[in-house]
Amino acid sequence: MNHPKPILTETEFANLGAGEVGYVRKMRSDDLSRNFPSLPPLAPNMEFWALFGASGEPIILSDVRANALAGAWDHELRTVMLQ
């Protein structure tokens, strides 16, 4: 089977939109340690909103969605919706 050559390398794709695009994601406290390793232990099943840069780096964590969106504005990022 012949695989076409990718248009972008994985690194180029990861950097696509860096410093320009971000996304907000709802997360549970149980899953935060993976993206926010310096957080102290939290009660289970708490809901948070996280702002991530285009390559997935965590930027802001809040318990209020509007604050995460405001963080995107403060960092001059356009937010996109992921499905």
Sorted by where each begins, the domain ranges of the chain are: 22-79
pLDDT of residue 73: 93
Q: Tell me if 24 sits within 8 A of 58, measured CB to CB.
A: no
pLDDT of residue 18: 73
pLDDT of residue 14: 66
pLDDT of residue 13: 62
What does residue 81 show for φ and ψ, rounded to 5 degrees? -100, 130
Cα–Cα distance for residue pair 35/4, rounded to 1 Å: 33
pLDDT of residue 8: 64
Q: Could you tell me the two tokens for 80?
A: 């996109």
Q: Could you tell me the two tokens for 40?
A: 């102290």
Q: What is the DSSP code (8-state) at residue 68?
A: H
pTM of the shown model: 0.76
Residues of the chain falling short of pLDDT 50 = none
pLDDT of residue 21: 86
